[in-house]
Structure 1
Amino acid sequence: MGINELNINLGERILEINVITYNIHHGKGIDKQVDLYRIAEVIDKSDADLVGLNEVDKHFSKRSLYEDQISWLANQLNMEHAFSPSISIKSKNSTKVRQYGNALLSRYPIVTKKSHSFNYIPGLVEGRSLLDVAIQINKQLFQVNVTHLSLNPFLHKMQTDFIVSKHNKNPHPIIIMGDWNMRPGSRGWRKLTRSFQDAWYTEGIGAGHTYPSHRPRTRLDYIFVSQNVKVVEAKVLTNMSKASDHLPLTARLLY
């Protein structure tokens, strides 16, 4: 669908943006099958303009047939893409670096992209990172982040503090999404919602549980937006729950 330019009072024009955040579990569904076609179908049917993805493999291992998953999805869906490695492994038997991390698909031009490493204790805990991308929508820049935070409370706090301080004086509208490994009302959630809107908390109906996909009972996946972005709707998609161990979360935004 893309962005709709809506005419409102006094001839003012606003942008409508559909976003989705989805932990794809390297394409492995609850039936233990790795099938990127299912992931692509979920994204395609969501009609999203911006897609934040977690647990994406890039030549990582046999579990995903060494596929560059984000390039495959971008080609399949005809979208631009960016990738942020949380884990990078050099192999003696290949010139390709084995990577795993966060990614973004976009229907609109990606102007800049940067990866911030959250590997404060290399080798002791799973690597984490923040994908930081600037998107050009008409003449407006949007700052879009995708992340997957640590289960360790100390590291989670450091990562959350970094994200909040990074955007403290950002003049552009901001969208931050991903698997946050936290619960609503937690210390990290309270810190984030002092600066940003939780899309589900603002406009979602019900609990908003996204994990586990076959019987969701926890809200781990979030879309946060700056105060100058209006959240119109937030939904959890349940129509293809077997495609991953998480359900995708979507939000319709106006700016």
Structure 2
Amino acid sequence: MDAENGTYLTVHHTVTDIELRLLMEAIYAQYNYDFRDYAITSQRRRVLHAMRQLACSSISQLQDKMLHDASIFMQLLQFLTIPVSEMFRDPSYYLALRQQVVPFLKTYPSLKIWIAGCSTGEEVYSMAILLREEGLLERSIIYATDINPQSLEKARKGVFPLANMKAYTENYQHAGGVRAFSDYYTAAYDAALFDKSLCDNVSFADHSLATDSVFSETNLVCCRNVLIYFNKPLQERALGLFHESLCHRGFLGLGSKESIDFTVYANKFEPLSKSERIFRKRQPL
């Protein structure tokens, strides 16, 4: 009986993965969003969760609904791109940026920074605050990109739950913040509205690391906790975009569980802070 159960689960799992692949192909064909090279484990978990929330008995039924109703696809997109973010997340990363990268950035007359996979904007505002405190915000352009239009709209508004401010304040302080964090936002009801001037030089844009190309030369690329959701070919495609985008000796920041080791780009960057996943583009040989 155990063997039979094991066989059944294996077959069931395979059918689920077939349905998953078909769903991703359908999304790409109908809506031009490419999730085909996302890591299957997290993809499976997110789709099964979406299936339950959207009252579908199978992935195939979800696919059918999604193909015939764009509003269902937009709901599904929220599950496929679940934003998990906070301001000054991993404060030691921002402290390393402040201490080890900013001195180099100060030597440029103007700066272009790309925050790839910006989600609902927490990282964008964190970067803007850091740059303002270092006297760099006025001469910086920040490109904040994501594939989820609803997340980008939230990021543009700069409104975050007031209940999160205590944790964000602690992160900010540990990240080397030099002011009162509350200076940057106005509390109203249960929300915190961040200073609009922080985004005067921010360009929010729809961009897919799976299908789109480089759009500007940049001095710093931050793509944190995005690559972990990609399979290896898509990780390498994204790293290729970052390498191509970065200027001579530009900087790349990744998430705490991400690395360029064992990729074709491992020898094209040198670690500036290996523990904080901050790298610098090597000079070409």
Which structure carries more strand by proportion?
1
Which structure carries more helix by proportion?
2
TM-score (norm 2): 0.34
The answer to which structure, 1 or 2, has the higher relative contact order (CA under 8 A, 6+ apart) is: 1
**Structure number with larger C-alpha Rg:** 2
TM-score (norm 1): 0.37
